[in-house]
A and B are shown apart, each in its own frame.
Chain A
Amino acid sequence: MPTRAFTSGVQTVERALVVDPGQRVPGRAAGFPLRREGPAKLTGAAKYTDDLVFPGAWHGITIRSTEAHAKLVAIELDPDVDWSKVVVATAADIPGDNVVASIKDDQPVLVPVGGVIRHHAEPVALLAAPDKETLRRLKGRIRLVTEPLPPVFDPEQSDHVFAKYEVTTGDLALGFAGADLIVEGTYRVGHQEQLYIENNAMIAVPGDDGGIVIHGSLQCPYYVHKALKRALRLTHVQARVIAEETGGGFGGKEEYPSMIALHASLLALKAKRPVRMIYERHEDISATTKRHPAIVRHRSGVTKDGVLVAQDVEVIMDGGAYCTLSPVVLSRGLLHAGGPYRCPNVRLRACATRTNTPPNGAFRGFGAPQTEFAAEMQLNRIAERLEMSPAELRRRNVYRLNDTTPTGQVLRESVAAEEVLEQALGASHFERIRERTARESAERGGSGTIPPGPLRSGDRRVANGIGLALGWHGAGFTGSGEVYIGSIASVELTADGRIRVLTANTEMGQGTKTVFPQMVAAELGVPSDWVEYAPQDTAEVPDSGPTVASRTVMVVGGLVIRAARRLKAAVEERNPGVPFHEAFRDDAKANGATRIDQKFEAYPGVVFDDATYVGDAYPAYGWAAAVASVEVDLDTAEVTVRDVIAVDDVGKVIHPVLCEGQVEGGTLQAVGYATLEEMKVRDGRYLNDRLATYLIPTAMDAPHIRTILVEAPFSGAPHGAKGVGELPMDVAAPAVIAAIHDATGVWIHDLPATPERILAAMHGDRGAPAA
């Protein structure tokens, strides 16, 4: 084997060009800082986990179950192999508790002998070797002896409930009694893969103190840290987690990295050397978490004027084999299930159950895209039954200031639902285009030379359609989550006069490394490039909570701003009459370092009872509308999503270019969810667990996306921001499905709306299964 010609010493060698990160280039970003780590990413200099070199490191792989449900009787090592040249680790090697610390501690790090395999591709044993050839040769020589157990694949048939909630308000029976029209519907959504382009990657380096340093691709350093301490029995200091450049997460690197870090650590401790666990795409898709599949049943009552008077919604989510984050995903799904609409009589019920499929977990939107798809479908079908414009029906029901949600939350401020709706309708010329598509549809039906049938389309080859959806997204954690975790973020003036922001919030493309220094710089009155962003290393930064729930800018950003203000005040108090930007260097020389730790304090007036689900479920909500236009090929039912107008109220736009980037990216993920992305599951195993078979949109499949940002600030945050990451994910899918209906006349109740489903609906069972 050749050596690495250009590498030497520990870690990496900086070969490529490094551009001054603060350097400004005139152009679109003028006035706002350019992406801080952008030059490194654009020159290939940025180091992702698999780019790091640790001399003497071994490679590790995971031996996984091939059954969905079985008792693990034994792990047999082929006696013809000399196992002394490699390292094998099993559950017996775990020094601490055999659990991946999470909400419920039900998921083992490795299935122990005598224990139960609960899903296909579950980790059972680990193997490390100096080279990959040896791994390839030996991985088939570890045999799992199992006794099959009956699996459960249908979440409605499962008797193991991970979580269950109910929210009621008003009198449901009375509501339905007063309705002129009752509409029912069942909607189903399947798994969705996050499909970050960088696969999961983790390197564990054993320390002299018996500890472990993890270098990894991950969203939440302190989640991994907690898991290491628990399963490996390490002290706070012995466990150290460093988030390296992370090539996308979208929730997929929220909880599963804890598992991989533990695996790499077990091998590293046993091999007494660094071990690299770099997943291949096939393994990443087949084993790691997905968006929860869900079944959502709606029964709605409306008056003939289109006023919602009763909503009864039932949500069933498939949690997969272990609990992971299912209770909180379900909770968010439930709280968004009614859509952004006022209704006096509501019952929302939700439950998540266990099945023998790989565990489902966090994915952008976190339960809300599933239930909001159903809510918007339901509203569009009501509009159709009332022969009312879907825009008008929304106008009549949309939340306004001082309306009350089903949990009894009074929306006292920051309500921009109408605003985003009207902006989207105006920018898309929704009603005008809808009249045109209706005319085209009538012409198609009436004037063709031959009527369309199952084996042929009419004289037109394509049909155009336009669709609308409206959504909301609770900002930050649900309920008392923030109070419970009590995040700390810091801003520091170092003794040598540098300004540093210290948080555990990772950069995975959203722009954390750019906007935090930008916000601090704005408070301190200094250029953005004077402010450093400390590395996401648990040895250096405080626990500012996970990088999830669109909370980074809103919650942690708020802490950072408050810390900066306090730092400024402290320095200016010591240097009366001298503004911070002139005073801080001399102040540091004279007084040494000043570090401000800002701890989260409950937003004033925001109260939620986690036991009864009464109160302010979220401190504020972001509001979004999407209008999609599609072209459907009438021969093949292929859908082209031409344009999406995305209007998002984010409270306060911190950085327009990065903010638009979030909306555009989230919108395309939702378009993929609506049209293309489908995990096919058989016997608990994903059939299309490769990039050739699990398809996401290419540039040619992507619509032209126009983003309109709206600002309805939230007074609890010093900057007013409410987060943007997840909001666009909630609305584009139902907008696309509505547009497909507008084009073809059929409702697709189950995502994704594949050509197979659309064609079957158009010509098989007309009207599609309403279940």
Chain B
Amino acid sequence: MPAEPQIDVPRHLFEAYERLAAGPTRPIAGGTDVMVAITGELAPIPERMLDLSRIDALRGIQLEAGSLVLGARTTYTEIRRSALCREHLPVLVEAAATIGAAQIQNRGTLGGNIANASPAGDMLPILLATDAAILVGGQRGEREIPAKDFFIAYRKTALAPDELILHVRFPLPPGREVRFRKVGTRRAQAISKVVMALAWEDFGSTGWQNVRVALGSVAATPIRARKTELILEGARPTPEAADLAAEILVRELNPIDDVRSTADYRRMVSARILHRLLREAGGW
């Protein structure tokens, strides 16, 4: 039987904020990361914990002023079943389906994936590629943190210890396309070796605008490949552009060897899936 730290079960945000302000507290939502860490003694056992499962303010999927807003406690199953997600940002549905299997999708939450900030977090490249913003709150008030500023170091985020993730806002600019590809270790229950989200806006004559190339599992945090983005900015998805982008991406990435894969594979495969996504976008 694993360690059983004390836990508070608030029903309202203000109660949660009070608890967080009172001292070091580890929140738990779906538990798919925290419970593993406690059972496996993979990290120091938290002294106090905070259950978010009764706070309804953290739930819900809605459209708000040109953005899709997902509550932090939205589970992957809820994303997969959401008509709004399917209509406005289907890549979320696609990505949610690649995470774990039914048991994990039923419990794991978007907010948990973000707070856990694993470099392999499958949803995180999508946040970066779509310029999503993370709304956080605490007794000191609420603030919105752009996804690009959120993941600051290996498993370290811009979230203060007394703050909670409340919502994630995905802007929905017209004409934007987003693609997703995960290369896992197996076909289900798989942690990614490389995960990529590619976004662009296409208005016809001007070439691609606001190109985003975001990756997971290739660095200490989820990252954007800025040099590769620059190459594609204003370009069209031609074979030449794809070749060049793949070459730049290979040079831009600096992944590591670990138990799941090798640096070489991650670098090569990142380039190859980018090339493939560009090829599919270009229809050649």
Q: Please determine whether chains A and B interact with each other in the same assembly.
A: yes
Residues of A within 8 A of B (CB): 132-133, 136, 282, 449-450, 454-457, 461, 635-638, 640, 676, 680, 687-688, 690, 692-693, 695, 697-701, 755-756, 759-760, 763-764
In B120-166, the 8 Å CB interface with A consists of none
Asked if B242 and A456 sit within 8 Å, CB to CB, the answer is yes
* Residue B13 CB within 8 A of the other chain: no
| Least CB distance, B155 to chain A, in whole angstroms | 16
Which B residue's beta carbon lies closest to that of A672?
A: B186
List of A residues within 8 angstroms of B279 by Cβ: 456
The winner among B242, B268, B275 for most chain A CB atoms within 10 A is B268
Offer 19 A-B interface pairs, CB within 8 angstroms, sorted by A: A136-B3, A455-B268, A455-B271, A456-B246, A456-B276, A457-B275, A457-B276, A635-B275, A640-B187, A676-B185, A687-B259, A693-B259, A693-B260, A695-B186, A698-B101, A701-B187, A756-B265, A760-B264, A760-B265
List of B residues within 8 angstroms of A635 by Cβ: 269, 272-273, 275-276
> Within the assembled complex, what's the spacing in Å between the Cα atoms of A462 and B186?
17
In B237-260, the 8 Å CB interface with A consists of 239, 242-243, 246-247, 250, 259-260
* Residue B262 CB within 8 A of the other chain: yes
List of B residues within 8 angstroms of A764 by Cβ: 264
Asked if A457 and B188 sit within 8 Å, CB to CB, the answer is no
| Least CB distance, B193 to chain A, in whole angstroms | 8
Which B residue's beta carbon lies closest to that of A763?
A: B268
Q: With contacts A450-B239, A455-B250, A456-B246 known, is A698 near B272, CB below 8 A? A: no
Asked if A457 and B265 sit within 8 Å, CB to CB, the answer is no
* Residue B261 CB within 8 A of the other chain: yes
Asked if B272 and A680 sit within 8 Å, CB to CB, the answer is no
Which A residue's beta carbon lies closest to that of B183?
A: A636
| Least CB distance, B245 to chain A, in whole angstroms | 9
Asked if B186 and A676 sit within 8 Å, CB to CB, the answer is yes
A636 is contacted by which of B36, B246, B260, B272 (Cβ under 8 Å)?
B272
> Within the assembled complex, what's the spacing in Å between the Cα atoms of A422 and B116?
55
> Within the assembled complex, what's the spacing in Å between the Cα atoms of A142 and B65?
61
Closest 6 A/B residue pairs (Cβ):
A700-B187, A455-B246, A456-B275, A756-B265, A455-B271, A688-B259
Which A residue's beta carbon lies closest to that of B273?
A: A635
List of B residues within 8 angstroms of A638 by Cβ: 183
Asked if A701 and B276 sit within 8 Å, CB to CB, the answer is no
Which B residue's beta carbon lies closest to that of A696?
A: B186
Asked if B239 and A701 sit within 8 Å, CB to CB, the answer is no
Asked if B186 and A697 sit within 8 Å, CB to CB, the answer is yes
* Residue B1 CB within 8 A of the other chain: yes
List of A residues within 8 angstroms of B273 by Cβ: 635-636
* Residue B40 CB within 8 A of the other chain: yes
Residues of B within 8 A of A (CB): 1, 3, 36, 40-41, 101, 183, 185-191, 193, 239, 242-243, 246-247, 250, 259-262, 264-265, 268-269, 271-273, 275-276, 279, 284
Other A-B pairs, 14, CB within 8 Å; known A455-B243, A456-B272: A132-B1, A133-B1, A455-B250, A455-B272, A635-B272, A640-B187, A676-B186, A692-B36, A692-B191, A698-B187, A698-B189, A699-B188, A755-B183, A759-B268
| Least CB distance, B215 to chain A, in whole angstroms | 14
> Within the assembled complex, what's the spacing in Å between the Cα atoms of A687 and B260?
10
Asked if A701 and B264 sit within 8 Å, CB to CB, the answer is no
Which A residue's beta carbon lies closest to that of B41?
A: A136
List of B residues within 8 angstroms of A457 by Cβ: 272, 275-276
Which B residue's beta carbon lies closest to that of A694?
A: B259
> Within the assembled complex, what's the spacing in Å between the Cα atoms of A455 and B278?
13
Which A residue's beta carbon lies closest to that of B42?
A: A690
List of B residues within 8 angstroms of A690 by Cβ: 40
List of A residues within 8 angstroms of B269 by Cβ: 635-637, 755, 759
Which A residue's beta carbon lies closest to that of B36?
A: A692
List of A residues within 8 angstroms of B183 by Cβ: 636, 638, 755
Which B residue's beta carbon lies closest to that of A1?
A: B1
List of B residues within 8 angstroms of A282 by Cβ: 40
Which A residue's beta carbon lies closest to that of B267?
A: A455
> Within the assembled complex, what's the spacing in Å between the Cα atoms of A106 and B156?
48
List of A residues within 8 angstroms of B41 by Cβ: 136
| Least CB distance, A695 to chain B, in whole angstroms | 5
| Least CB distance, B29 to chain A, in whole angstroms | 19
| Least CB distance, B45 to chain A, in whole angstroms | 9
Asked if B188 and A701 sit within 8 Å, CB to CB, the answer is yes
The winner among B183, B187, B272 for most chain A CB atoms within 10 A is B272
List of A residues within 8 angstroms of B243 by Cβ: 455-456
List of A residues within 8 angstroms of B191 by Cβ: 692
> Within the assembled complex, what's the spacing in Å between the Cα atoms of A687 and B41?
16
List of A residues within 8 angstroms of B272 by Cβ: 455-457, 635-636
A455 is contacted by which of B3, B101, B261, B275 (Cβ under 8 Å)?
B275
> Within the assembled complex, what's the spacing in Å between the Cα atoms of A18 and B272?
56
> Within the assembled complex, what's the spacing in Å between the Cα atoms of A695 and B260?
10
Asked if A449 and B239 sit within 8 Å, CB to CB, the answer is yes
> Within the assembled complex, what's the spacing in Å between the Cα atoms of A690 and B41?
12
The winner among A136, A690, A756 for most chain B CB atoms within 10 A is A756
| Least CB distance, A700 to chain B, in whole angstroms | 4
| Least CB distance, A280 to chain B, in whole angstroms | 8
List of B residues within 8 angstroms of A133 by Cβ: 1, 3
> Within the assembled complex, what's the spacing in Å between the Cα atoms of A764 and B265?
11
The winner among A282, A455, A676, A688 for most chain B CB atoms within 10 A is A455
> Within the assembled complex, what's the spacing in Å between the Cα atoms of A697 and B41?
26
| Least CB distance, B266 to chain A, in whole angstroms | 9
List of A residues within 8 angstroms of B259 by Cβ: 680, 687-688, 693
| Least CB distance, A136 to chain B, in whole angstroms | 7
| Least CB distance, A460 to chain B, in whole angstroms | 11
> Within the assembled complex, what's the spacing in Å between the Cα atoms of A532 and B262?
54
Which A residue's beta carbon lies closest to that of B184?
A: A638
| Least CB distance, B217 to chain A, in whole angstroms | 13
| Least CB distance, A511 to chain B, in whole angstroms | 28
List of A residues within 8 angstroms of B101 by Cβ: 698
> Within the assembled complex, what's the spacing in Å between the Cα atoms of A755 and B272?
13
> Within the assembled complex, what's the spacing in Å between the Cα atoms of A705 and B36?
34
| Least CB distance, B69 to chain A, in whole angstroms | 32
Which A residue's beta carbon lies closest to that of B40?
A: A282
| Least CB distance, A353 to chain B, in whole angstroms | 26
Q: With contacts A680-B259, A692-B191, A759-B269 known, is A698 near B186, CB below 8 A? A: yes
Asked if A701 and B275 sit within 8 Å, CB to CB, the answer is no
List of B residues within 8 angstroms of A763 by Cβ: 268
Asked if A695 and B185 sit within 8 Å, CB to CB, the answer is yes
| Least CB distance, B194 to chain A, in whole angstroms | 8
Asked if B265 and A759 sit within 8 Å, CB to CB, the answer is yes
> Within the assembled complex, what's the spacing in Å between the Cα atoms of A756 and B233?
31
> Within the assembled complex, what's the spacing in Å between the Cα atoms of A455 and B267?
9
| Least CB distance, B262 to chain A, in whole angstroms | 5
> Within the assembled complex, what's the spacing in Å between the Cα atoms of A456 and B1?
49
| Least CB distance, A299 to chain B, in whole angstroms | 31
List of A residues within 8 angstroms of B3 by Cβ: 133, 136
| Least CB distance, B111 to chain A, in whole angstroms | 21
| Least CB distance, B90 to chain A, in whole angstroms | 20
List of B residues within 8 angstroms of A760 by Cβ: 264-265
List of B residues within 8 angstroms of A636 by Cβ: 183, 269, 272-273
Asked if B250 and A700 sit within 8 Å, CB to CB, the answer is no
Which A residue's beta carbon lies closest to that of B189?
A: A698
| Least CB distance, A405 to chain B, in whole angstroms | 39
List of A residues within 8 angstroms of B193 by Cβ: 755
List of B residues within 8 angstroms of A755 by Cβ: 183, 193, 265, 269
Which B residue's beta carbon lies closest to that of A461?
A: B276
List of A residues within 8 angstroms of B1 by Cβ: 132-133
The winner among A133, A454, A635, A687 for most chain B CB atoms within 10 A is A635
> Within the assembled complex, what's the spacing in Å between the Cα atoms of A697 and B187?
8
| Least CB distance, A137 to chain B, in whole angstroms | 10
List of B residues within 8 angstroms of A700 by Cβ: 186-188
> Within the assembled complex, what's the spacing in Å between the Cα atoms of A721 and B276?
53
The winner among B1, B101, B259, B262 for most chain A CB atoms within 10 A is B259
Asked if A455 and B247 sit within 8 Å, CB to CB, the answer is yes
List of A residues within 8 angstroms of B185 by Cβ: 676, 695
